[in-house]
Amino acid sequence: MASSPSGSSSSRWSPTQEQVMILEEIYNRGGVKTPNAFQIQQITAHLSFYGKIEGKNVFYWFQNHKARERQKLRRKLMQSQQSQSHRQLLHHSSLHHQPHWCHHHSSLPSAALKPLHQGAGKHHQEDCATSRPALADKPISPQPHCSVIIPQQRPLKTLELFPLRSTHLNLNADPDDKDPTSPSSC
Amino acid sequence: MASSPSGSSSSRWSPTQEQVMILEEIYNRGGVKTPNAFQIQQITAHLSFYGKIEGKNVFYWFQNHKARERQKLRRKLMQSQQSQSHRQLLHHSSLHHQPHWCHHHSSLPSAALKPLHQGAGKHHQEDCATSRPALADKPISPQPHCSVIIPQQRPLKTLELFPLRSTHLNLNADPDDKDPTSPSSC
DNA sequence: GCAAATTAATGATTTATTCAAG
DNA sequence: CTTGAATAAATCATTAATTTGC
């Protein structure tokens, strides 16, 4: 029965071969990944020549197609999720060279401390670290601006897990850890 | 010498899959966008299990990630999905704000209408008629949040080709439709 | 050869995020 | 801090492929 428009009792759209081909063309060659309403309209109108179709079908198709393409790639590139064979935890205590790019001023909004010489007063908030000059060696300040100097908190051998669910985190014994919400206006 | 862990003569850090995954987890699920020095230290310590890494790498990663996320969203939100067309959309702007799918929460915010009683059973046949079979009135809003509300331009008899290059959007905006966009499901 | 049964694809929904406005 | 807009991810559900028994 295929896509017999007469019956059309199917609960969901079944694209025809032509429709799929065209959609893929638009996606691949046209680079349209998330068509806007207007585009959806047009695509729908065009594809309706080949069979019954609605705008929502087109919308869903693009959504699903994009998601699944991504997923596929992801799966394929996902070949290193098992390599836990890195047994190098023995001398993992490399906390020595931790950067002390931390300002002592109360806390360290990390990047927030840039307003040091930001030049002609432009409130850029796009990227604080867009341009990153070399400096790759020194485990010191990343160099941008934030010169947050952390007094090298004690070694803390058994660090707890990251804050996996809260915006603020642990402030365990930090003498000057009063950084409620670093606005990091950056 | 790509990411040769042993040599480590790379001029720059090459995160492993695990590291990236964990960083993304911390960013997304943990809500950490701009870790402070302490957090950076912890994260670094943790990730060092998977490969060589320094605090500055973590710092930079967050900076870049945040900036790029914003940038990406910015682009998309700009005003034209993926149409980079900068010179289009002419015509006196009738101020059709919301060029794309915006839909008022009065007909079917989806989540607001249906999830009324779907906790127990799985098969929740459309009670509000907002499911796929229905709502076929117009080739418009599929209804998920990102519903595509097509302005309902007229059928456009002979549309030109689709925007096969993501730049071709004919704009014969003809607001002559009435668009009973309200499926009046409920 | 063909259908019932099983599995793979994929259309349609729901849920959880994101950033930005207010 | 709350809310709005818009996904993308995760999930559900149904159709199409295919396997299998006769």
The pLDDT, as a whole number, for residue A78 is 65
Q: What is the pLDDT of residues A57-110, one digit of tens each?
A: 999 999 999 999 998 887 777 665 555 444 433 333 333 333 434 333 333 333
Q: What is the value of pTM for the model shown? A: 0.49
Reduced to 3 states (helix: H, G, I; strand: E, B; else coil), residue A161 is: coil
The structural domains of chain B, with segments of one domain joined by +, span 17-94
Distance of CA A134 to the CA centre of its chain: 24
Rounded percentage of chain A residues whose pLDDT exceeds 70: 37
Q: How many CA atoms lie within 13 A of B176 on its CB side?
A: 6
A10 Cβ nearer than 7 Å to chain D strand: yes
pLDDT in tens, B67-122: 777 776 666 555 444 444 333 333 333 333 333 443 333 333 333 333 323 333 33
CA A166 to the chain's CA centroid: 18
Q: Which amino acid is at A3?
A: S
Three-state DSSP class for residue A102: strand
| Residue found by looking up tokens 């295929």 in the block | A2
pLDDT tens-digit readout, B7-54? 446 678 888 777 887 888 788 777 777 887 888 888 888 888 888 888
CA nearest to A41 within chain B: B150
A136: amino acid identity, one letter = A
State the amino acid at position A32 in one-letter form.
V
- Which residues is A148 bridged to in the sheet? A102
Token digits of residue A105: 């001023």
Q: State the Cα–Cα distance between residues B67 and A50, nearest whole angstrom.
A: 44
Where helices occur in chain B by DSSP H, the ranges are 17-28, 37-47, 55-78
CA of A23 to C1' of D18 (A): 26
- What is the rounded CA–CA span in Å between residue A177 and residue A104? 10
A14: Cβ under 7 Å from strand C?
yes
> Whose CA is closest to A144, among A184, A167, A106, A113?
A113
Across the range B127-142, mean pLDDT stands at 36
Element (H, E) at B121: none
B52/A89 Cα distance (integer angstroms): 11
**Spatial contact of A44 and B139, defined as CB atoms under 8 Å apart:** yes
**In angstroms, rounded to a whole number, what is the distance separating the alpha carbons of residues A128 and A107?**
18
Let me know: does B10 contact B1? Beta carbons within 8 Å: yes
Q: Within the 104-143 window of chain B, which residues sit less than 8 Å (CB to CB) from chain A?
A: 132-133, 135-136, 138-143
* pLDDT value of residue B74: 65
Strand D contact at CB of residue A78, distance < 7 A: no
Which candidate, A42, A57, A61, A65, places its Cα nearest to that of A11? A57
Between vectors from CA B87 to CA B85 and to CA B92, what angle results, nearest 5°?
125
DSSP designation for B45: H
Q: How far apart are CA B45 and CA B41, in angstroms?
A: 6
- Which of the two residues, A135 and A10, has the higher pLDDT score? A10
B76 to chain A: which residues are within 8 Å by CB? 34
Q: What is the pLDDT of residue B73?
A: 66
Collect all residues of chain B within an 8 Å Cβ-Cβ radius of residue A30.
162-166
- Span B154-181, pLDDT tens digits: 333 333 334 333 333 332 323 333 333 3
In angstroms, the CA of B151 and the C1' of C13 are apart by 23
Q: Which residues from B are below 8 Å from A78, CB to CB?
A: 17
The separation, in Å, between residue A42 CA and nucleotide D16 C1' comes to 28
DSSP string, B106-133: TT--GGGTSTTS-SS-S----SSS-SSS
Chain A to chain B, count of Cβ pairs less than 8 Å apart?
220
Chain B residue numbers with beta carbons less than 8 Å from the beta carbon of A163 are: 26, 30-32, 39
A35 contact B CB<8A: yes
Q: Which of A17-21, A31-35, B3-7, B158-162 has the lowest mean pLDDT?
A: B158-162
User: What's the CA–C1' distance between B165 and D15, in Å?
Assistant: 32
Q: Is A126's CB within 8 Å of B71's CB?
A: yes
Query: A141 to chain B: nearest residue by CA?
Result: B56
Q: Which residue is nearest to nucleotide D10 (CA to C1')?
A: A67
Q: Tell me the C-alpha distance between A52 and A14, whole Å.
A: 9
CA-CA-CA-CA torsion sign (B110, B111, B117, B120): positive
Given this model, what pLDDT does residue A74 score? 79
